[in-house]
Structure 1
Amino acid sequence: MADSKRTAPYGSWESSVSTDLIQPKNTYSDITVDPTTNTVFWLAILTEENGRGAIYAKRIGQDTPTLLTPAPYNCRTRVHEYGGGAFTVHNNVLVFSDDQEFRLYRVDLARSDDIIPVTPLSNKKFRYADLHIDPTGKFLLAVREEHMNDDRPETVINTIVAVRLDSAAVASGDNIHVLAQGNDFYSSPRLNPVNPSRLVYITWNHPNMPWDFTKLHEARLTFDDAGNISVSSFTTLVGDLVDESVVEPKFASDGTLYFASDRSGFWNLYRTDGPDNLRLLLPHPIAEEFTRPAWLFNISCYSPIPGEPTRLVASHGESLSILDTTKGTLTPLSTGFTTHSNIRLLNPTTLIFDCSSPTRNSVIIAYDISTGTVVQTLAGSANVTVPEEFISIPEHITFPTTGGKHAYAYYYPPTNPNFQGPQGALPPLRVLSHGGPTSACSNDFNVAILYWTLRGFAVADVNYGGSTGHGREFRNRLKGMWGVVDVDDCCNAALYLVQRGNVDGQKLAIMGGSAGGYTTLASLAFRDVFKVGCSLYGVSDITLLARDTHKFESRYLDGLIGPYPEMEELYRKRSPIHSADKISCPSIFFQGLDDKVVPPEQSEIMVQAIKKKGLPVAYVTYEGEGHGFRKAENIKRTIELELWFYGKMWGFEPAEKIEGVEIENWEQ
């Protein structure tokens, strides 16, 4: 049978997956359950309403979700700027944070649709996150962030507060009580369901981030006849004896306290019965992560089973399992997905979670853990928008890197059943450097990657040293080495694929945005591996990040590079803006003209330096865009122009007609 594939240059293959499919879609977060009403709740970010946060509810068996917060309410919290835990539900009572005035609102879902404020107007002085209603429903626990008029990081105050919810206290305007203060940061205030006077929470202090060193504390609450709440004692439960990152404290139905710690080198699950009296839930630590870095509040990577306090459902690696603490066993659940997050149990058998795989979009599902079957898809679409034969299935590769170490990446080969490359030719490679940098890429279904593989590009999504998901030692490789380790690993990922014979060594591109853009620009300025670069609002002067950022990240660079300004010379040395004249390959820059994080002047200095060297360079700016592009037409234009630019540099013509831009030092 004759080969039906058409032969065409890599990069020029035709595809029905256009940039229209890559536009931002509604996303889901903060999944919450209310067992008393058999209902699941989630926060949807509505792109068609300029990113408004809307809370939806859906009972198991219900066809259509119910919108609980109509416009103009915008459910969002800006604590730590990244937020999380912007709403909670208990016994059919909803409390949420609104982004208009940063107030908390209460809705009694059983009685009316009235949305009633429970915190006073404060001129946006106070922000609330990580909300948690106590078992009696009388008050709410929250992390509160107080901002002064000057809004400097050193003047921001974080505390844990109790907000009384009864009408009389709310009407008095004196319903907020500070329960814990004095540390730089707080998270995860949780109450023991058996003994609600027992409060636990997490703290950490500068210059640590929550994945560096945290402590788990317990406070004993007292209540007077008037309903006022105070603290009678404080105890540190975990974190006084060893450096460890303690996250996700959770009580089981019998009051057993579980948490995750990386004291073994990986975030494994433990229980504690008192100060530093803790026990690993498995017979031995395993080299897998049972949680992820706490960029957001209210993450949930495991959950005790209601009524079965010795059994938990836990996500680890690409698996979802039942952990039996009595037997010390992990029993995998067959879900058909590789990413599982927002783990919640509605009852002893019904598990709610968000999931995805390399071939399936992200969905929220109800899953019966007793039968191993999906009960219902609650949100999202389980239908793949791209036929499976057109999907590039990523290969998880381990490659050698500097110092005899190894790093990781997902390698996506070019995949299009209708096309093949010319005989003897190899595809170009597009290397992606993720942001964070304490983050990770995954193998989730990603149309933005398929756009390239369907056109004949290979893609390598790199988890360089410093990425999460591979343990504390791997995560700490970036300590003091940002701009070195990440750069080496991105370069070595490309060279490894060249050596394996997968890609053309003369057609290597690197692309990144923001912090990933810093790695991209550093790779171009300090190494000579890539043949083309693409920067989206990339950080080229890292001293700006040290001098002007919000409290949560204001000392982040102390760990990644060193204290500033004491090590200002090292910051200068690591900043690509001061070595732009070393870049030796064509580059394209995309920049929002309203960007306050990476001002346009930074990109312009880089562009002028490359232009002065006589190298091809293009500079694309967008009016009204800040740090990260939001307008659909600009997102689409950026992707198309990146492809068009590679075509000009490497001699192929994209299948679709793309209106180009001026390229300096290039004969059009």
Structure 2
Amino acid sequence: MGQTKCETPYGAWKSPLTAEFVSGSSKRLGGAAVDSDGRLVWLEGRPSEAGRGVLMWEGAQSGSFPEEITPPGFNVRTLVHEYGGGAFAVKRDNVVFSNYADQRLYKQSIRGDRTPLPLTPAYENKAVRYADGIFDGRFNRLIVVREDYRQEGVEPVNDIAAVSLNGEANLEPVSLVKGKDFYMFPRLSPDGQMLAWMEWSHPNMPWDRTSIWVGKVSDDGSITNPVCVAGGDEGVVESASEPQWSPKGDLIFVSDRGNGFWNLYSWSVGGKVQSLCPMEAEFTRPAWIFGISSFGFFGDSGDQIVCAYRQRGVSHLATFDLSSGSLSPVKTRFTDIYNLFVHGNEVYFSAGSSTDTLSIVKVCLAEGKAGAGEDTVLWSSLGIDLEPYKPYFSTPRVVEFATKVEGETAFANFYPPANGYFVAPSRERPPLLVRSHGGPTLEASTTLDPAIQYWTSRGWAFADVNYGGSTGYGRAYRERLNGQWGIVDVNDCCSCAEHLAKIGEVDPKRLCIDGRSAGGYTTMATLVFKDTFSAGASLYGVLRMSWKRTHMTVLQSTF
């Protein structure tokens, strides 16, 4: 016989998911790669070490413990665009990384002597920063995005630069591409003869308007004959992103031209841009950070792509055949998939689900189709056995609700109260906590979040709202917030709570809201201008626009 549940009012249930458990147990993931032997290298941020970033190396044998690559005193993190990402690159048995304390690049051997050797000059006050590096074997250099703060009183200068790998630490990197406010995704063609990149300038953000360029790598290493592949038509508003070269030398990228969703496109030297798989789905994410990767190539033919895309708040994994144009699903239990890369016929990606915290997952692929092997979790942000906690986990479902604008709807991930040992009185309805995510152009995730389960395991309902302006639903949805921040997001959070109360899921007299950063602003605006919520909490919210003008990052300075 099963255990009898204790009847206790919502909000008073007991749970082992304590505040200490939530705040101190979860590591952060800063990217992953593989070495020459196919062993995984990943960057984890550790709350127990004040967020220090440490590169880890997969154990040589199955089940063996991973090794720390980063020695004490080093912290792998870049501050380019302030949000970072793309802080390290791996090539065979070597890794190049950005060190937080001085923002210099260091080269380090994965095997043998792991003493980091500086590659870039030392500047005061972290004045020069680097990210998104790729190795250029033809010239023994690393091509990076550089951000230069050495000129006082003006905005920092962004460019694409080349860093020598010959060990001359005082050698100034050579500028390759410059003139725009921002750069991302420098990517070399397989033969090393062409360089592709993404660029944009104020007042645009990378999800507003960007362009993809390709230039020839000349015999002296400079970039010549630049050609605009996408985003060059002034009459077309386009956000193009993630340029990658196929094994055959064609450029594959993502753009929201046409249907307003970030879809896959191809371009051949001397040819035209072609749509590969038009559908109402997002094949990339907003480029807040470096290191985003939503697709890769596998197999010997050079025609096979494995990709991740999102529809209505849920990620899907699929393969795409460039020769036939067919998209085939790859079965996986994960509902949140990103930062995908391929090694041979194995695809690695960051992932989560309602029962999985942030993880690194590996799936084996066969030529042209998904392999029969199951998902293999190589790393988990919690690193503990979750089985004892499963009776306390709430499974979310996507809810669609009407907004204040006639004919429009918005979405939220709704988590009902869940606890295997408690039940509420039959006529009682639970209190609700609504979360307004940050960005504001981010998206609520379905990955298992102990901070959400903290509430639901105690008898609270929780709604993670993807208000108008969130990404993942196409450009038109994303642009609902243009000129309407503090209006659309506020109305949608109120509409979500009111909808859940109307259908009997929550108590209309016990509605609360919280949010971080931009979500904190939404929270305070909701409490000041609306009567829907009884209480709320703004966590490091943006409350004074005068502060925003003087303290926001350069990336956001005209946002």
**TM-score scaled by structure 1?**
0.78
Q: What one-letter code is carried by the residue in structure 2 that aligns with 1:247?
A: S
The RMSD of aligned alpha carbons is 1.9
Q: Which whole-Å deviations, capped at 9, do the CAs of 1:193-245 have from their partners, x for residues lacking one?
A: 12x12111110000000010000011112234xxxx32232111111122111
Q: What one-letter code is carried by the residue in structure 1 that aligns with 2:457?
A: L
Among 274, 283, 287, the alignment partner of 1:279 is 274
The yes-or-no answer on 1:254 pairing with 2:244 is no
Cα deviation for residue 542 of structure 1 reads 2.3
The separation in 1 between residues aligned to 2:73 and 2:177, in whole angstroms, is 33
Cα deviation for residue 59 of structure 1 reads 5.9
Change (3 A) 1:441 1:43: same
Map 1:212-611 onto structure 2 (within 5 A): 212-224=208-220, 229-241=221-233, 242-263=236-257, 264-274=259-269, 277-282=272-277, 285-305=278-298, 307-317=300-310, 318-347=315-344, 349-370=345-366, 371-374=371-374, 376-380=376-380, 381=383, 383-404=385-406, 405-556=408-559
Q: What one-letter code is carried by the residue in structure 1 that aligns with 2:55?
A: I
The separation in 2 between residues aligned to 1:395 and 1:412, in whole angstroms, is 7
Cα deviation for residue 4 of structure 1 reads 2.4
Among 202, 206, 212, the alignment partner of 2:198 is 202
Q: What one-letter code is carried by the residue in structure 2 that aligns with 1:188?
A: F
Q: What one-letter code is carried by the residue in structure 1 that aligns with 2:305?
A: L
The separation in 1 between residues aligned to 2:423 and 2:375, in whole angstroms, is 41
The separation in 1 between residues aligned to 2:61 and 2:3, in whole angstroms, is 48
Q: Which whole-Å deviations, capped at 9, do the CAs of 1:77-104 have from their partners, x for residues lacking one?
A: 0000000111101122211111121111
The separation in 1 between residues aligned to 2:398 and 2:4, in whole angstroms, is 30
Q: In the alignment, what sits opposite 1:133?
A: 135
Contact 1:391 1:415 survives alignment (8 Å): yes
Q: What one-letter code is carried by the residue in structure 2 that aligns with 1:240?
A: G
Change (3 A) 1:19 1:475: same
The yes-or-no answer on 1:183 pairing with 2:180 is yes
Point out the structure with the larger helix share: 1
% same residue: 38
Secondary structure of the corresponding residue to residue 489 of structure 1: helix
The separation in 2 between residues aligned to 1:252 and 1:382, in whole angstroms, is 39
Change (3 A) 1:103 1:484: same
The separation in 2 between residues aligned to 1:9 and 1:369, in whole angstroms, is 49
The separation in 2 between residues aligned to 1:543 and 1:276, in whole angstroms, is 48
Moved more, 126-135 or 388-397: 388-397
Secondary structure of the corresponding residue to residue 428 of structure 2: coil
Q: Which has more radius of gyration?
A: 1
The separation in 1 between residues aligned to 2:375 and 2:416, in whole angstroms, is 35
Q: What one-letter code is carried by the residue in structure 1 that aligns with 2:292?
A: I
The separation in 2 between residues aligned to 1:533 and 1:111, in whole angstroms, is 53
Q: In the alignment, what sits opposite 1:568?
A: none
Q: In the alignment, what sits opposite 2:101?
A: 100
Contact 2:76 2:100 survives alignment (8 Å): yes
Q: What one-letter code is carried by the residue in structure 1 that aligns with 2:253?
A: F
The separation in 1 between residues aligned to 2:297 and 2:334, in whole angstroms, is 21
Contact 1:201 1:218 survives alignment (8 Å): yes
Q: In the alignment, what sits opposite 2:38?
A: 38
Contact 2:238 2:255 survives alignment (8 Å): yes
The separation in 2 between residues aligned to 1:456 and 1:446, in whole angstroms, is 16
The yes-or-no answer on 1:118 pairing with 2:119 is yes
Cα deviation for residue 137 of structure 1 reads 6.6
Secondary structure of the corresponding residue to residue 501 of structure 2: helix
Contact 1:363 1:382 survives alignment (8 Å): no
The separation in 2 between residues aligned to 1:308 and 1:59, in whole angstroms, is 31
Q: What one-letter code is carried by the residue in structure 2 that aligns with 1:398?
A: E
Cα deviation for residue 479 of structure 1 reads 0.4
Contact 2:250 2:269 survives alignment (8 Å): no
Change (3 A) 1:449 1:466: same
Secondary structure of the corresponding residue to residue 493 of structure 1: helix
Q: In the alignment, what sits opposite 2:190?
A: 193
The separation in 2 between residues aligned to 1:444 and 1:60, in whole angstroms, is 29
Contact 1:148 1:155 survives alignment (8 Å): no
Change (3 A) 1:116 1:2: closer
Cα deviation for residue 366 of structure 1 reads 2.2
The separation in 2 between residues aligned to 1:375 and 1:268, in whole angstroms, is 26
Cα deviation for residue 362 of structure 1 reads 2.1
Give the gaps of 5 or more residues in structure 2. none
The separation in 2 between residues aligned to 1:133 and 1:13, in whole angstroms, is 54
Secondary structure of the corresponding residue to residue 206 of structure 2: coil
> How many pairs were matched up?
542
The separation in 1 between residues aligned to 2:375 and 2:425, in whole angstroms, is 48
The separation in 2 between residues aligned to 1:49 and 1:219, in whole angstroms, is 43
Q: What one-letter code is carried by the residue in structure 1 that aligns with 2:289?
A: L
The separation in 2 between residues aligned to 1:389 and 1:548, in whole angstroms, is 44
Secondary structure of the corresponding residue to residue 308 of structure 1: coil
Q: What one-letter code is carried by the residue in structure 2 that aligns with 1:519?
A: T
The separation in 1 between residues aligned to 2:390 and 2:2, in whole angstroms, is 23
Secondary structure of the corresponding residue to residue 265 of structure 1: coil
Q: In the alignment, what sits opposite 1:631?
A: none
Q: Which whole-Å deviations, capped at 9, do the CAs of 1:149-187 have from their partners, x for residues lacking one?
A: 64x5x42100100112124xx16x335210011100011
Contact 1:133 1:139 survives alignment (8 Å): yes
**TM-score scaled by structure 2?**
0.93
Give the gaps of 5 or more residues in structure 1. 557-668
The separation in 2 between residues aligned to 1:336 and 1:412, in whole angstroms, is 18
Secondary structure of the corresponding residue to residue 291 of structure 1: coil
Cα deviation for residue 107 of structure 1 reads 1.9
Cα deviation for residue 110 of structure 1 reads 5.2
Secondary structure of the corresponding residue to residue 223 of structure 1: coil
Cα deviation for residue 368 of structure 1 reads 1.1
Change (3 A) 1:531 1:447: same
Q: Which whole-Å deviations, capped at 9, do the CAs of 1:536-565 have from their partners, x for residues lacking one?
A: 232222232123322111011xxxxxxxxx
Cα deviation for residue 384 of structure 1 reads 2.3
Secondary structure of the corresponding residue to residue 259 of structure 1: strand
The separation in 2 between residues aligned to 1:29 and 1:484, in whole angstroms, is 34
Contact 1:252 1:305 survives alignment (8 Å): no
